[in-house]
Copies of this chain bind each other. A is one copy, B any other.
Amino acid sequence: MSNRPIAAVSSRSRSCSRRIDRGISLHPRLLKTFLAVARSRNITRAAEAVHLAQSSVSDQIQSLEAELGAALFTRSKTGLELTLAGLALKPIAEDLLRLDGEARAAVQAAAG
């Protein structure tokens, strides 16, 4: 009988945001999207870069912000800008993604 106290219960309660992961871990996919947006400072462009719909990118950024409890970008008329939190996340996200690749490579090397 429903023994899932870990995963949040409320789920789809507020607005639309589909928040991708929720409190368990920083999903690499979100990080990849975040970096694309950080680079282009433009959601539309980032969406093309990662082959996702604009709305998906918008959602992923919001999920990441919700997950971390902090705004990563400031939405201004002239474009998006990284906040202090976004600036702090960027280099670590890059490391994380790099390590992800290293893990794959290491396993391939070890297994043949």
User: Which A residues are closer than 8 A to B by beta carbons?
Assistant: 6, 24-29, 32, 51, 68-72, 83-85, 87-89, 92-93, 95-96, 99-100, 102-104, 106-112
Pairs A–B under 8 Å by Cβ, sample size 24: A25-B27, A25-B28, A25-B100, A26-B28, A27-B28, A68-B104, A68-B108, A70-B107, A70-B110, A70-B112, A71-B111, A83-B111, A85-B111, A88-B106, A88-B109, A88-B110, A88-B111, A89-B103, A89-B107, A89-B110, A92-B103, A92-B106, A95-B99, A96-B96
In Å, the complex CA distance between A57 and B24 comes to: 16
A84 to B106, CA, bound (A): 10
Whether A69 lies near B25 (C-beta < 8 A) is no
Identity of the chain B residue whose Cβ is nearest the Cβ of A32 in the assembled complex: B25
| Main secondary structure on A side of the interface with B | helix
A107–B31 alpha-carbon span in the complex (Å): 13
Chain B contacts for A28, CB-based, 8 A:
24-28
Q: What is the chain B residue whose CB lies nearest that of A3?
A: B53
